[in-house]
């Protein structure tokens, strides 16, 4: 075969030097491993070479010399030889696919595997595809798991449990604290027995027609208290001793003393009594402004006569108000307080008295000193007790400033009717008399007080606290709104009366005589009559103008709001009502869905009723 028929590249031509080296190694009896023969020469029988390689040199018999027919094995290429060819291919950079095919035709059986770089490239490709498939499969599983864990709709997912606070004392530590606090305060807590004189009957009993003299009757009651000075001053509740004709105090060591009342303050339900003894253990008044909701507290007293009883609880709330008084803030607690605990101390974990147990809620809405405990008790704050004690010890009574107005909270409907922001001040709903400091200074019903003595006020309680904390006789500046315009006056405070009442002695059922001629207000559902000066004098009205309600339609907005026959209307929303025409003008401006405030005078009191038009 000439060179034109030779399809082998130059790098793959038979290597004669290699053959001679192999022969020389054989002749010299070298034990080195004989390399595989070189590629076949042109026209040389490849199978013969392979047979000699395997059988000839190993001494084995050549199966091809056997005449027996055999199934020839599948042709295969010697791997080392293939590697040799593959290395030659890698060195031949210009070797084309056509040349590779021609070369394959020269080797019996052809290639069974592609060259190594091709196999590596395919292996790399399959590995990459496997990695991508694995990542894709993992992502699908993660997405499915996320969708399975996500609740349907907009239902919120609760966070897992975790400790929010870990500083709570152990039960043993808490018990030890209670024990030590009790030991520190208990010697100052006293038991108070009171003998009250009961009023005699107005009619004397008779025996056989002859009158028998009345014998004064007495009643026994009891309460608690605590010593605050080592010379025998004791703080307790006013309702424990206010009717007492005789007071006996029992100390924690069972010593008994007679006590005298130094002074009482009905509005805060506090009293100071004294026994003649020195060197007594005392309880310390703490700062009640530091008390917070959730604080542990202890109550010491004599419930039902059981002296030195200790109960524990927490501060349920602070700043509670008592509807029976305009003064004071109370601490609410669930520490057990029962009849007999009144006047006893409410104690903090610092062993300080932060409240004076005063009353309980024995049933829904009933604030009382009597009744059974349901876990809602109230104590006067220690800061108020300190102020009252100082006043009583110095003067024998408590003096407070007095302005002379009945304040009303400026809620949303009322504020809208006056054209102001809700809770931007306090509305004067009534003036108890013409001789009060407010009336003398020129304040009127309907004025909105925004500031007292330089302090902004937004609620009736804030105004009352500011006034009562001011000394009697001081001149104070009162800023207010009248018809939307800011004004100010100077008021000289008087001393607050023992009992402040707002009601006039005008019964609710005393109404003017009916008059058939009346004005109708269709939206409100009422019929009215204009007030005459004669009627105003007869009814003792605060103003000589307005309209009197003569009729109220059943199920009307006025009836639902509580407007009654005989009420005197002075204002409807923002309209001042002096005549029937004023009322009709205000009524015609109303529409369904409106919520308005109607100012009425009833029995000497000014009321603001919220009316909803449906």
Output DSSP code: residue 415: H
Q: Report the Cα 488 to chain-centroid distance in Å.
A: 39
The Cα–Cα gap between 434 and 426 comes to 20
The residue assigned the tokens 């002296």 is 307
393 membership: H or E segment, kind and range? helix 382-395
Q: How many CA atoms lie within 13 A of 186 on its CB side?
A: 14
Strand partners, 565: none
By C-alpha distance, which of 606, 605, 611 is closest to 593?
Answer: 611
51 membership: H or E segment, kind and range? helix 46-51
Q: Which comes out higher in pLDDT, residue 322 or 262?
A: 262
Cβ 512 vs Cβ 520: under 8 Å: no
Model confidence band, residue 30 (pLDDT cutoffs 50, 70, 90):
very low
Range 565-594 average pLDDT = 86
The Cα–Cα gap between 72 and 75 comes to 8
Model confidence band, residue 108 (pLDDT cutoffs 50, 70, 90):
low
Ranked by mean pLDDT, the top range of 2-16, 31-45, 199-213, 244-258 is 244-258
* Residues with Cβ within 8 Å of residue 279, at least 6 apart in sequence: 230
pLDDT tens, 248-276?
999 999 999 999 999 999 889 999 999 99
For the cut 50, the answer to whether the pLDDT of residue 27 exceeds it is: no
Distances (CA, A) of 148 to 141, 144, 151, 152, 540: 10, 6, 8, 9, 77
The Cα–Cα gap between 597 and 580 comes to 18
Q: Which comes out higher in pLDDT, residue 551 or 64?
A: 551
Average pLDDT, the chain: 77
pLDDT tens, 469-509?
899 999 999 999 998 899 999 999 999 887 653 333 333 33
- Choosing from 88, 224, 265, 269, the catalytic residue is 269
The residue assigned the tokens 């028998």 is 212
**What is the separation, in whole angstroms, between the first and last Cα of the chain?**
118
Residue 30 annotated in active site? no
Model confidence band, residue 106 (pLDDT cutoffs 50, 70, 90):
low
b vs e for 129-166, b when ≥16 Cβ sit within 10 Å of the residue's Cβ? eeeeeeeeeeeeeeeeeeeeeeeeeeeeeeeeeeeeee
Q: Specify the length of the chain in residues.
A: 614
Residue 522 annotated in active site? no
**Residue 26: predicted pLDDT:** 46
- Choosing from 224, 239, 417, 523, the catalytic residue is 239
The residue assigned the tokens 């291919």 is 89
Cβ 595 vs Cβ 554: under 8 Å: no
The Cα–Cα gap between 526 and 584 comes to 11
The Cα–Cα gap between 515 and 518 comes to 7
The Cα–Cα gap between 385 and 390 comes to 9
- Domains of the chain (ranges plus CATH)? 3-62+76-106 (no CATH), 176-197+217-398 (2.40.10.120), 401-495 (2.30.42.10), 519-612 (2.30.42.10)
The Cα–Cα gap between 403 and 413 comes to 26
Instruction: State if pTM tops 0.85.
Output: no
Model confidence band, residue 148 (pLDDT cutoffs 50, 70, 90):
low
Cβ 609 vs Cβ 561: under 8 Å: yes
Q: Report the Cα 468 to chain-centroid distance in Å.
A: 32
Q: Are strands 475-482 and 455-456 parallel, antiparallel or unpaired?
A: unpaired
Strand partners, 609: 598
Range 69-76 average pLDDT = 54
Residue 570 annotated in active site? no
Instruction: Quote the tokens at residue 415.
Output: 């504020």
Model confidence band, residue 333 (pLDDT cutoffs 50, 70, 90):
very high
Q: Which comes out higher in pLDDT, residue 156 or 317?
A: 317
Model confidence band, residue 278 (pLDDT cutoffs 50, 70, 90):
very high
Cβ 302 vs Cβ 340: under 8 Å: yes
Neighbours of 262 (CB within 10 A): 16
Range 237-257 average pLDDT = 93
By C-alpha distance, which of 572, 575, 569, 561 is closest to 597?
Answer: 572
Instruction: Quote the tokens at residue 478.
Output: 């009162």
Cβ 429 vs Cβ 608: under 8 Å: yes
pLDDT above 70 as % of the chain: 71
**Residue 476: predicted pLDDT:** 94
Q: Which comes out higher in pLDDT, residue 365 or 361?
A: 361
- Choosing from 88, 316, 336, 342, the catalytic residue is 342
Cβ 219 vs Cβ 275: under 8 Å: no
For the cut 70, the answer to whether the pLDDT of residue 95 exceeds it is: no
Strand partners, 463: none
For the cut 90, the answer to whether the pLDDT of residue 91 exceeds it is: no
pLDDT tens, 428-485?
888 887 889 999 999 988 899 999 999 999 988 889 889 988 999 999 999 999 988 9
């Amino acid at each position: 075969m000439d060179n034109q028929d030779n399809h082998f590249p130059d790098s793959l031509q038979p290597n004669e030097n290699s053959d001679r080296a192999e022969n020389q190694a054989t002749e010299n009896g070298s034990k080195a491993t004989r390399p595989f023969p070189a590629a076949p020469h042109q026209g040389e029988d490849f199978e013969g070479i392979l047979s000699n390689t395997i059988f000839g040199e190993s001494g084995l018999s050549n199966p091809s010399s056997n005449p027996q027919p055999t199934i020839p094995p599948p042709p295969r290429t010697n791997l080392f030889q293939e590697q040799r060819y593959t290395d030659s291919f890698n060195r031949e950079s210009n070797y084309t696919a056509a040349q590779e095919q021609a070369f394959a035709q020269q080797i019996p059986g052809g290639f069974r595997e592609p060259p190594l770089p091709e196999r590596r490239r395919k292996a790399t490709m399959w590995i990459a595809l496997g990695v991508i498939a694995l990542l894709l499969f993992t992502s699908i599983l993660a997405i499915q798991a996320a969708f399975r864990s996500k609740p349907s709709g907009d239902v919120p997912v609760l966070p897992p449990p975790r400790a929010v606070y870990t500083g709570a004392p152990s039960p043993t530590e808490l018990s030890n604290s209670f024990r030590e606090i009790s030991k520190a305060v208990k010697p100052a807590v006293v038991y108070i027995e009171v003998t009250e004189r009961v009023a005699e009957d107005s009619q004397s009993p008779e025996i056989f027609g002859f009158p028998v003299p009345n014998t004064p009757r007495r009643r026994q009651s009891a309460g608690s208290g605590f010593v605050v000075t080592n010379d025998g001053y004791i703080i307790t509740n006013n309702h424990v001793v206010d009717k007492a004709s005789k007071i006996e105090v029992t100390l924690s060591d069972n010593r008994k003393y007679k006590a005298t009342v130094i002074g009482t303050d009905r509005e805060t339900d506090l009293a100071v009594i004294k026994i003649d003894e020195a060197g007594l253990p005392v309880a310390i008044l703490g700062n009640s402004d530091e008390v917070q909701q959730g604080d542990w507290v202890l109550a010491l007293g004599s419930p039902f006569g059981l002296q030195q009883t200790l109960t524990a609880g927490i501060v349920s709330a602070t700043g509670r108000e008592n509807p029976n008084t305009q003064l004071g803030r109370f601490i609410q607690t669930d520490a057990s307080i029962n009849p007999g605990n009144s006047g006893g101390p409410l104690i903090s974990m610092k062993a300080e008295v932060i409240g004076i147990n005063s009353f309980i809620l024995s049933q829904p809405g009933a604030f009382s000193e009597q009744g059974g405990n349901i876990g809602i008790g109230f104590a006067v704050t220690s800061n108020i007790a300190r102020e009252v004690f100082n006043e009583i010890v110095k003067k024998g009574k408590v003096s407070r400033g007095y302005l002379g107005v009945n304040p009303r909270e400026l809620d949303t409907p009322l504020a809208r009717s006056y054209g102001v922001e809700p809770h931007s001040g306090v509305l004067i709903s009534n003036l108890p008399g013409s001789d009060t400091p407010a009336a003398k200074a020129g304040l009127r019903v309907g004025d909105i007080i925004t500031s007292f003595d330089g302090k902004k006020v937004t609620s009736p309680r804030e105004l009352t606290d500011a006034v009562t904390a001011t000394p009697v006789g001081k001149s104070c500046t009162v800023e207010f709104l009248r018809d939307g315009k800011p004004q100010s006056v100077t008021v000289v405070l008087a001393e607050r009366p023992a009992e402040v009442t707002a009601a006039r002695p005008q019964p609710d059922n005393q109404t003017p005589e009916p008059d058939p001629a009346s004005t109708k207000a269709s939206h409100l559902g009422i019929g009215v009559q204009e007030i005459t000066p004669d009627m105003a004098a007869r009814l003792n009205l605060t103003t000589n103008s307005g309209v009197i309600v003569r009729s109220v339609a059943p199920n009307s907005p006025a009836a639902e709001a509580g407007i009654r026959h005989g009420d005197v209307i002075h204002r409807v929303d923002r309209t001042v009502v002096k005549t029937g025409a004023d009322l009709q003008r205000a009524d015609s401006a109303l529409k369904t869905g409106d919520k308005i405030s109607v100012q009425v005078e009833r029995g000497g009191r000014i009321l603001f009723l919220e009316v909803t038009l449906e």
